[in-house]
Amino acid sequence: MMKRVAITTLVSVAISLTNAIAEPLSPTPVFEGKTTTPAKDGAMQTVHVIIQSWGIAGRERETQEIPLRGFYVAHLLSGDISTTIDGQTTERVPGDYWTVKAGATMKVKVIGEFAVLETTVVAKQ
């Protein structure tokens, strides 16, 4: 009886992990707030800042899209990845920063088991 319970538990955990990996990417909020910054005309404008962390599991030969559409700054915190932005693929290592222009999409392929990416969005109010 004990073996049957253990096997049932392992199968349940495996199914849960498989379902979790199949889900689309979703970020973990790190910071969200408002601040002011000078506009081109010198007047102060309010901007909304959102920083999110993306834990990305490596899936064999699979790319995953970061579902952001406006301009943002990306920072690779851990793991190795390749990114494809506007058809150009670049390999990234921990500590790398880069930008993604408004309207562009970024696809990420993890080289290894796992990577953590942080994005910073600054949007006019």
Q: Phi-psi bin for 112: left (phi > 0), alpha (psi -120 to 50), beta?
A: left
Asked whether the predicted pLDDT for residue 6 surpasses 80, the reply is no
As a whole number of angstroms, the distance between CA 57 and CA 104 comes to: 22
| 71: its two tokens | 């301009």
Question: How many CA atoms lie less than 13 Å away from 4 in the CB half-sphere?
Answer: 1
Helical H segments across 1-125, by residue range: 2-22
Mean pLDDT for 18-43 is 84
Computed on alpha carbons and rounded to an integer, the radius of gyration of the chain in Å comes to: 19
Q: Specify the pTM.
A: 0.78
| 18: its two tokens | 């498989």
| Model pLDDT for residues 37-61, shown as the tens digit of each residue | 999 999 999 999 999 999 999 877 7
Domain boundaries, the chain: 26-124
As a whole number of angstroms, the distance between CA 31 and CA 49 comes to: 8
Report the chain's mean pLDDT, rounded to a whole number. Answer: 85
How is domain 26-124 classified at the CATH fold level? Jelly Rolls (2.60.120)
